[in-house]
Chains A and B, each alone.
Chain A
Amino acid sequence: MTPSDSSHEGQETETPLKTKRSRPDEGKVKEPAYHRVKMSRSDLYKPPTAEELNQLKEAESLFHCSLLKMQMEELLKEVALSERRKQQIDAFVETVTKLLQAVPDSPKVEMSDLSWLSGAVKVPFIMLPKSTKGKFNMAPPASIDLIGSYPLGTCIKPHIVVDLAVTIPSDVLQQKDDINQRYPRKRALYLAGLAQHLVSSSEIGTMRYSCLHGNRLRPVLLLTPPNSSLTLRVHACPPPGFFKPMRFHPQKNNVRTEWYTGQETSQSESSQPSTPHYNSSLLGDLLPRAHLQFLTAVGSQCSAFADGVALLKVWLRQRELNQGTGSFNGFLAAMLLAYLLTTHRISNTMTAYQLLRNSLNFLASTDLTVNGITLAKNPDSTAPSLSAFHSAFQVVFLDPSGHLNMCAEMTACTYKQLQHEASLSMQFWDNPTVDGFHALLMTPKPMIRTSDHVFQLCDLVKLHSSCKKLNLLSELMDHSGDYVHTALPVILSLLQQGLGQRICLLTHSLSAAPEWSVASNPPKYKDQPPLSFGLLLKPEMAASVLERGPPADSPQAAEFRQLWGSRSELRRFKDGAITEAVLWDAKSMCQKRLVPRQIITHLLQLHAAIPASCVRYVAAMLDDVISTGREVPSTGEEESLAVVQSYDDLSRKLWRMEDLPLSITSVQGAHPALRYTQVFPPLPLNLDYSFFDREKTCGSLVPKEKKPCPPYITPITVICHMEGSGKWPQDHLAIQHIRAAFHIKLGELLKKHHNYTCRPCPTHLDVWKDGFIFRIQVAYHREPQVLRESVNAQGLLVVRDNEEARAVEMATIHKPLLTSTLHGLQQQHPCFGAVCRLAKRWLGAQLFSDDIREDTADLLVTSLFLQPAPFTPPGSPQVGFLRFLHLLASFDWRNNPLIVNLNNQLTAADYTEIKNDFMASRESLPGMFIATPKDKKMSLWTKRAPSIQMLQRVVIVAAESLKVLEQQLMDGSQMQDVRVALRPPLDVYDVLIHLIPKQVPLLKQAVDPPAVTFSQGVFPGGGFKSGGALPVIDYNPVSLYLAELRDAFGDLALFFCDPYGGTVIAVLWKPKAFIPGAFKMSQVSARRLEVRGEEVNAVPNVEAILADFQIMGEGLVKSVEARTDKWSV
């Protein structure tokens, strides 16, 4: 999509915003614009009915605003199945049922004999070990019933899955079939038989195998009708009550070791290892009908049951907790609500909203890993005790029969994640300043955007050897050879132990159930997608390089040594203690952030025999683009700190300054470098003086014409407020002159007392200190006021806002305030600065720097930290950056203000006020509206830019970049170049101006730095010598050129450039400028007149403009490339 296209679209979709500019446009979609409703007086004041009163009161008391209630209702409408859909489903179910009932009988054969199956269908089971006893024959099903969410009415869009239970006739099975996988194999054979029967039918679109929740013991058959997206999942079940539930006690063994290993052992039956997972997966097959009955009975008493389950399912799905092995799926959600209803924790009359709230509250406060819950009212005597379940499983939630643990496959980590999510949701639910609905139910939380660090285990076959190393053979037998899920819980607890205090949560991806075609064998375990793990870091501990263990002589020392192996060594500390300790090597902040990576690779290598090459650590892949390229890799934290320290010193010296006519009341930084958010923090340079010309009078260096451009030295703005006094003149010009006098005086004093090289100017004072240039600007707090005041004809003193006053206010009040506030934020969140820098680097690279300015970008990032819901504040630069992109792409800029609650100064009432003001005057406000405590109505920072068209463009590009990045980060098999997201698409622009790289001072900061380098008049290896001539300050030909271009052709075209070493200026003609307009004296710039009879039209003189691009950038421009013929009017 080209920007011009998007601008057209912008006009279409954003019409209500710009009624002034809207042209009569046939294709325009009529959109309901928001107008405040004007209810007539009679409507407002008519006597209320009792019903209406109730409704109003409910809305007022139950929900903090009726909006939330309505939003939830709308959401439910959106996910509910339509009547048409239900008919479709019913029809399909009927067809399939008929087909299945016609399955032909087949003769009894040995189970290992598969000759009765045609080649077109394979058995969905990995037959390992091969040997198996028993006979099998196909027979028509005993019964076919709907089970699961569809008959219960809790089935929601999208991915509609309808479960169909097909009962295997009892003469196919034998009583002892539960031993040694005989029953699961028979079931697989039975499914294959069904598939063989259905494969020729034309009423079925596609047919695939899968397995229930990724459990390979429980294959299912997926049927899809032609041209429809719904899925019918066919389960094969034993007849109800065929096996006795007590045979599946978690401590019983049903898979014999000698059969599984194929070796004779002398173990008696009682000493065989128990097989709880095997048992529960078999038991699960026996009970679905009973569960459905139970849920239907409970649900029929509570009118909001189905809606409550639907909301809970949406909530789970947004958190990626509802699918895959060991997930908290929709069935568990329904069971949980049933548990809460039967235990009277919630009442039958509650609404869906309250059901969701109470269940989240329950999850947040109850730890099922320690205190399991049971739905069984009065379990029979054969049912095992809760403690028996706890010893076999990590999470315990028993079904109504009391025999089955429904959370058998769930790991403790998954439950902890669930708890964490629930308590997080409860936190922001009540917070009136958060858009609860959006955070709760609308925002997806994929792992890459939720966890601070993510790593993946790529080569899953290595987990097989870890099972051996960790001595997990009997568990492997219990899991029927699924080495991934056998090793997973052990690895998780190992990592949990090793990472200890550094993390607050360890999560892992729930491997999705594989699907494969009926004509192929089931996929191997090693072919599964890689396992992903997510870490939620504790910012204060995560980056510590030292792991301090117990004292050398304590009994825990051995344990510590066992955990860390050879990395553990005895160390003596300053307090005299001699303890075991592990020291990780990391020097700069960006290396320290990756200490968890060292820990993880070390532990996995040591204990689980997983080589480091299998661990794909996704945490710092983007650091490259903001690295400063010194000897120690660094992402600029150290350099920023150096700047801030130097500034602190300067500020102290200014404070101590005496002999000034007025005293200094405040010294404030007003530059991104002073709040750690400068993309490339300034570095002290060691200049080669012979590279420059000298300016005699001031002793300053000047760039030479024939040489490459000298390095760009950023002036760091410092605002210095002088005390208010009657001595200040109350006239704008006079204030300016006085200020100049102050600059001179300050310069003299700094030179005299501290020997800094200074250069006073009327507008500022440049001080060269520690290799940095500080640009001190003296300010007088009443200046904006003076600019606003004027005396009108009646002699009345009037105060009128104007551009100039606002600019002064921005520079001397708002910017310093923002800088100090954000400086404070960096102290709380160590990765704040890095996120800002990544964000701004991306904006720059995508040529948006002039639309989303530095301060705006910083504010956007700040909002991620101050209002992270539904996430936690970002703990690594990468996750922060991804969320920044997501914010840009998904925030509803048109309907909502982005409120950044700096220093927590805004109250709930303020929020409402801001929102109301915003809605009332939406049309006149900027497209991107950001409110802060000091600026509730104007959106100071985004007043000028971005325009609505550019905002649209930013949204599109951000969404695209996010997609590409997330794919690249989560998929190890793809080409690994995250810089793709930082290369702008140039094909949408009309003209490209290529610059001579030697004249681009910041070339080294480019996304793709050039291979060839040239001297910029700097000796390698930093270091700063004080004294000497002042370097070339703030001289950047590219920005000077851009300013000239914008001055001259700003009404005809837009100019875009990457401020960080971009060598291309992209030009986009404004479509409006190319509509031939009648000749006006004020609009002939760069145009020529065309005379057609009496009519005189002014059209842009494009050839001359292109020539001007070259002329005005003489020495900087390499070539001007016109790419489109759009201007031929």
Chain B
Amino acid sequence: MAPSKKKHVRSESCVIPGGFTELSLQFSSDSVSQHKLYVKEHRVRADKSSRPLDRTLFVLNIPPYCSKAVVTELFSQFGTVHYVELCDQPGSSQQTEPTVSPMFKPAEKQGFNVGYIVFKNATSIKAAKSHPHDVPLVVSTEQHPVKTGVQKWIQQYRNSFISTDKIQQVVDSFMEDYDKRKEMEAEQQRKEAEQQQEDEEGWVKVSRGNKGAKARPYSEAANQRTLQKEIKKKKRKELLNFYTWQHRKTQREHIAELRKKFEDDKQRITLLRAQRKFKPY
């Protein structure tokens, strides 16, 4: 795409309040319509090593057919791209889960993405931001065609085959890991329990932490159960319809109940009548 770009008269880059710069993007060189990407330098208060502040470009509105590889390719004209991260909503990256093989991850949504592009040099950001808005970036080129539609789906179908051995291998290694983790946890617990034991001189180490909650029920459900039990106990002790006033009260309650129902029904009828629900034909 380089030669065509040079013919253009240098036009201004388009800046939008909020600090964003508009970049045009089209699928192939003969496409008529363009998507607009909005870019600005990544700026957040909390410093994160994976997105260095000075070298990261924040991009909005990346179309679904732009994979990481495509984005890398697109932006390498502004300088060497170190690393690209795509996610469907702007925000901090969350990579807290233990490493899972991609085959066990849920299918990703194929929508519009936001991207964090980490360049090698800080200068590339300036280059990207000053890119003229009427010179579009082109997604699919002769050298790097992007598959969409039927071709892509057939490719996907082909990729969905995973050999049994590979699955087995992944499962085995994960389970090994898992067992190890469990063992470690058990070990930890055992150690903590040991610490609760008296030492030779009869001292017990008492510390803050979740051990302090040991006397309380361990789960919400159990909590509820104890509460219920209490209420039941209370009820059992009560005498019903023993005094005259109690008897009168139940009768009054009954009439009130009937009245309430009558009133309820009346309301419903008015509502239905308002909606003309009584015309038989």
Contact = CB atoms under 8 A, between A and B. Distances in A.
Interface string B76-100: 0000000000000110000001101
A71 B265 CA distance: 10
A1101 B259 contact: no
A1096 B281 CA distance: 55
Nearest to A1081: B90
B38 A1084 contact: yes
Interface string B10-49: 0000001110101000010001111110100000000000
Interface in B190-229: 210, 213, 216-221, 223
Given A1104-B35, A1114-B149, A1114-B152, 11 more contacts: A37-B264, A53-B255, A59-B262, A74-B269, A78-B280, A698-B163, A761-B162, A919-B268, A1081-B60, A1108-B63, A1115-B149
Interface string A1053-1074: 0000000000000000000000
B62 to A, nearest CB: 9
Interface of B: 16-18, 20, 22, 27, 31-36, 38, 60-61, 63-65, 89-90, 97-98, 100, 103-104, 109-112, 114, 148-154, 156-158, 160-164, 167-168, 170-171, 174-175, 178, 182, 210, 213, 216-221, 223, 252, 255-256, 258-275, 277-281
A56 B262 contact: yes
Given A45-B256, A737-B171, A1113 B280 contact: no
Nearest to B270: A32
A975 interface: no
Given A317-B281, A1091-B17, A1107-B32, A697 B174 contact: no
The 4 closest A-B pairs by CB, nearest first: A1114-B149, A1115-B150, A1085-B112, A797-B219
A45 B250 CA distance: 11
Interface string A448-490: 0000000000000000000000000000000000000000000
Nearest to A797: B219
Contacts of B255: 48, 53, 56
Interface residues of A, number: 101
Contacts, number: 249
A44 B35 contact: no
A738 interface: yes
Contact of A66 (B167, B218, B256, B261): B261
B149 A1112 contact: yes
Contacts of A795: 210, 213, 218
11 contacts: A34-B268, A44-B259, A60-B258, A444-B281, A702-B154, A704-B154, A799-B219, A1084-B60, A1103-B33, A1107-B32, A1112-B65
Given A734-B178, A1081-B90, A1103-B33, A32 B219 contact: no
Interface string A1083-1116: 0111111010010100001011011100111111
Interface stretch (A205-213, A574-582, A739-747): A739-747
Given A1096-B17, A1114-B151, A703 B157 contact: yes
B64 A1044 contact: yes
A35 B218 CA distance: 40
A78 B277 CA distance: 10
A919 to B, nearest CB: 8
B18 A1096 contact: yes
Contacts of A1047: 64, 109-111
A94 interface: no
B265 A733 contact: no
A261 interface: no
Contacts of B270: 32
A79 interface: yes
A1115 B150 CA distance: 5
Given A734-B175, A747-B164, A56 B259 contact: yes
A629 interface: no
Contacts of B32: 1103, 1107
Interface stretch (A590-598, A903-911, A1032-1040): A1032-1040
A703 B145 CA distance: 21
B174 A737 contact: yes
A796 interface: yes
A731 interface: yes
A700 interface: yes
Contact of B281 (A59, A318, A700, A729): A318
Contacts of A1112: 64-65, 148-149
Contacts of A1104: 33-35
Contacts of B178: 729, 731, 733-734, 737
Given A56-B255, A744-B167, A796-B220, A34 B267 contact: yes
